[in-house]
Amino acid sequence: MCGGEELDKRKETVVSISMMKLQIYLFIATIVMIFGVLFLHAALYSEGAIHFNLAGFLLFLAAMIVVIILHEAIHLTGFRYIGGVPWKEMSWGVNLKLCVAYAHAKRPVTVQQMKKVLLLPFIPTGLLPIVLGIAMNLPSVSILGALLTAGCFGDLVLYQKLLKFSDDSLVIDHPTKPQFTVYES
């Protein structure tokens, strides 16, 4: 797509987010969303009881891990089919120090492509579980959706930071941190 020499000729801007600030917002958003979905369940189904047991908790954790993996896989699929990045030029994993999962393209994509890649997982791994959980009266699925929707907020913040750049500028994301470098035309 673009060689290193061409990138050197462009204005470079590093875009990052404060993980501490993001974690505070995520905590607040998570609490609000969990109470919101529980309120909806109580209002729609006249029930307010949630039962906890070890098997249910372990199943919930397993579902959360699977959906987080799916979230990152959707980002990678976006890099491949929206950004044209070959599979071998991508990686994914978990940054244990920051407690975040990540998907990374080693090749630049345009700002327009990156915006799409950032938004792709929001509906299937966040909003959809909330809607399904409420529709089927499964509070645990709704809570899972609330947690994962809050987890999408980092992507939404990065998307918002991209809005000030032209769609044809190039973006290279950081391999393990929630930040990227924009190369403006």
Per residue in 148-185, pLDDT (tens digit) is 898 888 889 989 999 999 999 999 988 877 788 999 97
For residue 40, how many other CB atoms are within 10 A of its CB? 15
Which of 97, 31, 93 lies closest to 68 in space, CA to CA? Answer: 93
| Cross-strand partners of 181 | 14, 172
Q: What is the pLDDT of residue 178?
A: 76
User: Which residues, 6+ apart, have CB-to-CB distance to 147 below 8 Å?
Assistant: 30, 33, 34, 64
The reported pTM is 0.86
* Boundaries of every domain in the chain: 4-46+54-184
